Structure 1
Amino acid sequence: MNSLRFREQVYGWLLAGPFVLTLVVFFLYALIRTVYFSFTEYDLFSEAVWVGFSNFVALFKDDLFLLALGNTIAFSTIVTVIQTVLALGLAILVNAKIRGKAFFRTAFYLPSILSSAAVTLIFIWFYQKNGYLNGFLTSVAANSPYLTCYVITAVICQLVLVWRDRLRGLPASWFDPAWAILSCLLAGVATVIASMMGWVEAAGHVVEVNWLNTREEVGPMPLTLWAIVIQNIYTTIPTFMLLFLAGLQGIPEELYEATRIDGANKWQQHWHITIPQLAPVTFVVITFGIIGTLQMFDQVALLGSAAPLESRITLAYYVYHNAFPPGGSPQIGMASAASLVLAFITLVVVYIQKIFGVKEKANV
């Protein structure tokens, strides 16, 4: 019996050995060295000189670090919220009983398996001044009078048709699909007639937004980081959608049947059943989202000279920029101190989310 137990322990350590070795070398040893270098002045070529807390003091006097800190917090908050909501919405959509469900699941998940470098290069072209995005926005702006006419006419037709049914005592919903189809058809005909009569004409707007090579601030972040927000959401939503989809398929159907018997509509079912039951998955998604966005580096680094440093700097890139400055001497001490600050912020934010945010257990 002892021999069998010993052999099992040996096999267990043999299986776990590569992982443990990797963890010790690339995490534990690296962490110890980072902590040591954060208290030194070191440039990779000469001996490290002990300077105590000077690097940490210098960090919070460095305008570039403070800019990177603000950009990182704003980026993490915005992306985590948007990608969580959209991932949940897509998961509910592809979990519904619709035709072609397998196709939509595959199509929505496809961006997550694409190379980050390839996607970044595509988005650099996408964001060019004469690129696809500005061309699309130009088309929308030019045709905005037609779109406005169509939407207003459709809304008026829908309100009139539903209001007429309600006056007759019929239980018509404001979003009745039959009247919605008729309203859209009537709005299309009205828009064509208005165009032929000259009542509505295309505008001559040309959109030339400089998405990347700019220092313009839009709200809490530079415009360049807003462009990266779109790119980051595009590549991360599919993975989180898959997590939510797995959680949705684990919710007992009996809960929905009970609420339907009580007369609950779809929105009430999602609010009182779906969201509370998905609390464990939501906790994982938000936690992964916070960690990933706080440590976002590759998409910023791959932009390179396509955008100014000040408009794309994040804490992770600040660490890299100090360790490998272009045309300058490496500042490993500053880079190590910044990396420890980043690690501390990540742990604190995740811990706060665990205490005050979404709980790990479903609400019953």
Structure 2
Amino acid sequence: MQKKWAYWKEKMAPYVLLAPFLFWFIIFFGYAFIRVVYFSFTKYNLFDPPTFVGFKNYLDLFREYLFGVAFRNTLMYSIIVTTVQTIFALILAVVMNQKIKGIRFFRAAYYMPSVTSSVVITLIFIWLFQRKGLINYLVTLYHSYGKMIGVFFLLLIAMQALLVFKEKRQGRPVKYLEPSYLVLSILFAAIVTYILRIMGYITVVDVKPVDIIWLNTREKVFGWLGPLSFARPLGAIMILNIWTTIPTFMLIYLAGLQDIPSSLYEAAEVDGANTWQKFRYVTIPQLRHITFLVVTLGLIGTLQVFDQIAIVGDQAPLESIVTLAYYVYRNTFPSSATPHAGMASAGAIVLALITLTLVLIRKKNIRRGERLIWPVLKRKKI
């Protein structure tokens, strides 16, 4: 009897620890989900009793123009933001993983946007994107000093390449971005650019202030792409979301990088692998599960984006920024009309199905990629 009690005690211990979470999940998510599914088949305005209408809400949903715009904006937003933030988070994590003095300060500084209030950040970006805001001012400066900036970077690249080539020719191991040479190259490029500016070979162009309308417009970005173009206000929100989300994913990648055994890099160096080959054949395969987590979280977060859209609100035309999550909110809590909770519930179900489908596709692709890449990597000589 005592052994049986000990057995059941051991089996039930995890469930006891999980009980608070399971209670919270069942009440606030499970019950809410069942209610949403039920309301999606009814005509319901939050005040009168719901009336069963079958699949009418779903049929009306796909006939409505605004839902089609929201559907397209959501997919475009999710694909672009998830791709860009994943790539830059990985690059930034690799940079932050270097053993450089003071690197902890830069890690904390880069992470600051993620711990700052989303509402505050969005309000700041609304100010930055005004017609006479900081973004247009910086674009104006770029047009004025574009030639000087271009000459500076050309001199910087040329000097750095010359110093590195000289060292490699003498058989000395040196990185392409050797910090000491990089400082010398920056100083050289700055001095030469300044001299050329004084001598009049480089002039500052007098241009009119740039007056780009970032928010209150329906103008498309990359209009030549046709169906792949998107409204400029949505592009501004993409920039905001990418800037605030990259630091979080950078930390996730950074944890994954620090978990990779150094013996793998040492073995690659013995086989003669350069920096790019170590990154391609060691770092990326070792981070495949981290990448799956980052992409999954990115897809879920971007598909359900709401707070930035809601705060921008009347600053931009509705069809330029509306997403599925904001479409659900607008139907449930319209400003001066009868709520359409049934339509909103149907939209929420469609959003949930899209999110689940994309995550399952991503999971299937990563498993297929593992089956294809590992036999190749085992046979391939680095």
Per the TM superposition, whether the score is higher than 0.5 is yes
Specify the code of the residue in structure 1 equivalent to 2:291. Answer: T
Task: Tell me which residue corresponds to 1:255.
Answer: 264
Match of 2:218, SS?
Answer: coil
- Cα offset, 1:41, TM superposition: 0.9
Q: Does 1:307 align with 2:309?
A: no
In structure 1, what is the equivalent of residue 234 of structure 2? 225
Q: Which amino acid aligns with 1:321?
A: R
Stretch of structure 1 that moved more, 212-221 or 327-336: 212-221
**Contact preservation (8 Å) 1:283, 1:358:** no
Paired letter, 2:85: Q
Partner residue of 2:138?
A: 136
Give me the whole-angstrom Cα distance separating, in 1, the residues matched to 2:187 and 2:259: 41
How far, CA to CA, are the matches of 2:97 and 2:181 in structure 1? 27
Q: 1:324 aligns with which of 330, 333, 343?
A: 333
Determine the C-alpha separation between the residues in 2 that align with 1:221 and 1:296. Answer: 16
| Pick aligned residue for 2:67 from 58, 65, 78 | 65
Change (3 A) 1:158 1:29: closer
Query: In structure 1, how many angstroms separate the alpha carbons of the residues matched to 2:181 and 2:5?
Result: 77
8 Å CA contact retained: 1:282, 1:358: no
Distance in structure 1 (CA, Å) of the matches to 2:333 and 2:344: 9
What is the aligned partner in structure 1 of residue 225 from structure 2? Answer: none
Could you tell me which residue of structure 2 aligns to residue 198 of structure 1? Answer: 200
Report the secondary structure of 1:143's partner residue.
helix
Residue-by-residue CA offset, 1:146-199 (whole Å, 9 max, x unaligned) = 112333444556677788x59x96569995757766655454344333322333
Partners of 1:196 and 1:58 lie apart in 2 by 67
Q: Of 261, 277, 290, which residue of structure 2 is paired with 1:268?
A: 277
Relative distance call for 1:245 and 1:256 in structure 2 (3 A) is: same
Conserved? CA contact 1:158–1:174, under 8 Å: no
**C-alpha separation in 2, matches of 1:274 and 1:155:** 27
Structure 2, unaligned stretches of length 5 or more? 223-228
Unpaired segments ≥5 residues, structure 1: none
Aligned AA (2:320): S
Q: Whole-Å Cα distance in 2 between the matches of residues 323 and 8 of structure 1?
A: 46
Q: Is the 8 A contact 1:141 1:203 kept in 2?
A: yes
Question: 1:263-320 CA deviation, whole Å, 9 max, x = no partner?
Answer: 2111111111000001111111111111111111111111122222111100110100
Q: Secondary structure at the match of 1:60?
A: helix
Q: What does the per-residue CA deviation read over 1:224-276, in whole Å, with 9 as the maximum and x for residues that have no partner?
A: 11111111112211111111111111111111011111221111111110000
| TM-superposition CA deviations, 1:320-364 (whole Å, max 9, x none) | 011111111100111001000000000111111111247797957
CA contact (8 A) 1:279 1:360 kept: no
Q: Percent identity?
A: 45
| Superposition CA RMSD, Å | 2.7
- Match of residue 244 from structure 2: 235
CA 1:93–1:35: 2 relative to 1, 3 Å: same
The TM-score normalised by the length of structure 2 is: 0.86
What amino acid maps onto 2:84 in structure 1? I
1:208-223 correspondence runs (5 A): 208-219=211-222, 220-223=229-232
TM-score (ref. length: structure 1): 0.90
C-alpha separation between the residues in 2 aligned to 1:5 and 1:174?
59
| 1:109 equivalent in structure 2 | 111
